[in-house]
Homo-oligomer: A and B are copies of this chain.
Amino acid sequence: MFLDDRKKRILQAIIDDYINTAEPIGSRTVARKHELGLSSATIRNEMADLEEMGYLAQPHTSSGRIPSDKGYRFYVDQLMKSSELTVEEMYSIRSAMETRINELSQLLKRASVVMSKITRYASMAATPGKQNSVLKAVQVVPVEKGKALIVVITNAGIIKNSLVSIPETVLPECLIKVSNIFNEKLKGLTIDRINLPVIREIELLIGSTSDILLPVLNGVTDCINQIDCSEVYLDGTTNMLNYPEFNDVVRAREFLNLMDTKELLNKVLDDINNSSNYINITIGGENKIVEMRDCSIITTTYSLGEIVIGTIGVIGPTRMEYSKVLAAMDYMRKKVNEEINKLTGKSTKDIKKNK
């Protein structure tokens, strides 16, 4: 059956109302609040149709209707009006992004904080695993006698370090030499291209007998591992407790525990990243994680060239203010991109050259 104009208007009215009130919407409410020029009886009939088509559901025989996942999907794709951010909201995004930050993960973290504050839902941010990172610099920094700091920087703005012990007899000049060799041989490589042959090469240049090779190599490995285990930042999870959906302790606990299992969130983000849209909306049961079947997730990814360097997502109840979140996401996207460009300077060009 085709959704005629009147049905669409009624569906939209119901979903708009339900997003605001979280109460099942009855025919009389629709007739009263929205000037459709129809009596409640007519609307009642239309609602029965919409339910049969799967856009609405009824919690109990004698209650009003609530939107189904299919209903929300139609709403998001075709019905809802795009909303605009207030001046204050735009300001808070701008000012959060414009504060000097020089590490990517910090930037995303802060973006996530602002998103949860504006939307009043939970939000998350993550940097992807190592597979795509290109090393920009590897340096060995002297700290004190017997200690050196290994620093690894990637093109995506990730900076990691690792403190290692080295023989006290090593001279500063030697450290510089080793540092240069490592830097020379490793920079420009993606992480998964650092393999035994490359290390052999370094070994040859330094001299395998040198007792400084091993600690430095350990430090580099440690840094790379840190880059690999992409952390997920969460913010505003407690916001969710303000919604009637989570007014029951059992539900609330379930949700918060879910948020605590970072592996799962990573999986969520991975699944979504594989899609190609700028902004991605996953509604309720569309989510592959069953535990999330009554949440909706809106995500966006940030890239440098073709390399994904970060993801930000907002998690709310399926009854989410989709248009508001989309507006915030959109603006944030713009600002984060501006900031990333500042952060990485001309790196985009560099990468293209390497191809």
- Residues in A lying within 8 Å of B, measured CB to CB: 100, 102-103, 136-137, 139, 141-144, 146-147, 149, 151, 153, 157, 159, 161-165, 176, 222, 237-238, 241-242, 246-249, 252-253, 256-257, 260, 343, 345
What secondary structure prevails in chain A residues at the interface with B? Answer: mixed
- Min distance, Cβ A32 to any Cβ of chain B, angstroms: 31
Q: How far is the CB of A345 from chain B (nearest CB, A)?
A: 7
Pairwise interchain contact B153-A159, C-beta atoms closer than 8 A: no
Please determine whether A345 and B146 come into contact, CB atoms closer than 8 angstroms.
yes
Pick the 8 closest A-B CB pairs, nearest first: A102-B163, A238-B256, A241-B253, A137-B143, A139-B141, A247-B249, A102-B162, A143-B153
Cβ-closest chain B residue relative to A180? B172
Pick from B143, B151, B238, B257: contact of A260, CB under 8 Å: B238
Chain B residue numbers with a CB within 8 Å of A253 are 238, 241-242
Residues of B within 8 A of A146 (CB): 345
A260 to B147, CA, bound (A): 37
Report Cα–Cα, A144/B144, bound state, in Å. 25
| Known A137-B149, A151-B151, A159-B161; further 11 A-B contacts with Cβ < 8 A | A102-B163, A137-B142, A139-B142, A147-B345, A149-B151, A149-B159, A157-B163, A161-B161, A238-B257, A241-B252, A256-B256
How far apart sit A137 and B151, CA to CA, in the bound complex (Å)? 14
Question: Shortest Cβ distance from A147 into chain B, in angstroms?
Answer: 7
Determine the chain B residues whose CB is within 8 A of the CB of A161 once the complex forms: 151, 159, 161
